[in-house]
Structure 1
């Protein structure tokens, strides 16, 4: 099993593709540049099974319907952000872009921590609110990696000054959810390079003294 990071759009939001040896794949946070993303996945011969959203801010959802149009796959998002996909104020696109970014409703609403089995993939869904009310992280034990969205970055943490953000809740999510995973776990964040939990525990200034 392997993953690829594909930065998209003006904010260079990381879309990820998790690929099984049988060429089926999962797409995480297809944020924008849908034509580019669809073309790349098609060129690799991969077969998407689903779109998994870590949260529903505009820069993480903009290409969702492009992916759906090409492959007709289901979309997963946490129930706390089910209305954000079609609301340009809630997802921030009007506020930050001055334009509406809307996508069709999700097919599945995540509620509570659980294990998702999609094709050959098995992922633990961790509720990690704080950056936004419905932020989740997806842990793939087989890969030894967690798709953290905008919860934890290399050397930083997610912003909490947007609607529904809560700094204390974010730190609690990181410590009680992410940092309980094996310390060698690779963190695949929504922006910037990958890191590891061990590295963030040792060097991330936002986690010291919590």
Structure 2
């Protein structure tokens, strides 16, 4: 599977384009902004997007989803419905963080843990990892040992929990009980910053001392 990271917005949020190398079918995960840059990457790679996937409802992860859905005629899937309050509050989020005005929206489909997202010959498993936000999802490619973890885990850090309905203990529980059991060999794409592996974070991430 081809992986393309497209940092967007002033927050340098990792919009991720996952492309099946045999069929060129693709998914776009967390299109937080700058739809033109995302569309340029799609064209450059010859990708055929099938769905837009959202890990959670924060503006820097969802801001361009409605426009891309309209322009590419794609459905928006995710996050978990527990993040509905965040999508309803997008106008307030935009004002708070100095973004252009954004309208609230509802995805075409809320997702639940255990569901599968297929495109081409690839398959992503949906995992529910609350803590950074209550409806936060992770998308896991088991065959490729790759996870898109949004703002749950970063290289050397974990997601912040001081935003509405964040929960620090719940976040650590999600990392300990859902992410780390996937295996040390699993690489992950965080919502911001460079990729890492679960094994590297298990060993070296100072925030995970209590999550072993």
Residue equivalent to 2:90:
88
- For each residue in 1:96-129, what CA deviation from the matched residue of structure 2 results, as whole angstroms up to 9, or x when unmatched? 2265323532111113333333443311111000
Task: Give the superposition deviation at 1:167.
Answer: 0.1
Whether 2:1 is the aligned partner of 1:10: answer no
Structure 1 pair 133–89 and aligned structure 2 pair: CA distance change class (3 A):
farther
Write the distance in 1 (CA, Å) between the matches of 2:153 and 2:90. Answer: 25
Aligned partners of 1:169, 1:83: CA distance in 2, in Å?
18
Mapping of residues 47-62 of structure 1, within 5 Å: 47-62=48-63
Q: Does the C-alpha gap of structure 1 residues 98 and 67 become closer, same or farther in structure 2, counting only changes over 3 Å?
A: closer
More helix by share: 2
Q: Give the secondary-structure state (helix, strand or coil) at the position aligned to 1:100.
A: coil
Cα deviations by residue, 1:115-155 (Å, 9 ceiling, x for unpaired) = 33344331111100000010010100122100000000000
Counterparts of 2:24 and 2:113, CA distance in 1: 29
The DSSP-based 3-state class of the residue aligned with 2:116 is strand
Query: Where in structure 1 are there 5+ consecutive unaligned residues?
Result: none
Question: Does the residue aligned with 2:10 lie in a helix, a strand or coil?
Answer: coil
Cα deviation, residue 94, structure 1: 2.3
Q: What is the aligned partner in structure 2 of residue 140 from structure 1?
A: 141
Give the aligned partner of residue 155 of structure 1: 156
Render the CA deviation track for 1:178-199: whole Å, top value 9, x for unaligned.
Answer: 0010211001000000000000
Paired with 1:94 and 1:19, the residues of 2 have a C-alpha distance of 34
Number of residue equivalences: 209
Give the TM-score, by structure 2 length. 0.92
Name the CA distance, whole Å, in 2 between partners of 1:102 and 1:89.
Answer: 6
Secondary structure at 1:139's aligned position in 2? strand
Q: Which runs of 5+ in 2 are unaligned?
A: none
Q: Name the Cα RMSD after superposition.
A: 1.6
Distance 1:125 1:158 in 2: 19
Query: CA contact under 8 A between 2:24 and 2:120: conserved in structure 1?
Result: no
Cα deviation 1:13-45 (Å, max 9, x = unaligned): 000010001111110000110112112212322
The separation in 2 between residues aligned to 1:182 and 1:174, in whole angstroms, is 12
1:4-153 pair list within 5 angstroms: 4-21=4-21, 22-77=23-78, 78-88=80-90, 92-97=93-98, 99-102=100-103, 104-153=105-154
Q: State how 1:127-206 maps to structure 2 within 5 Å.
A: 127-206=128-207
Give me the whole-angstrom Cα distance separating, in 1, the residues matched to 2:8 and 2:115.
29
TM-score with structure 1 setting the length: 0.93
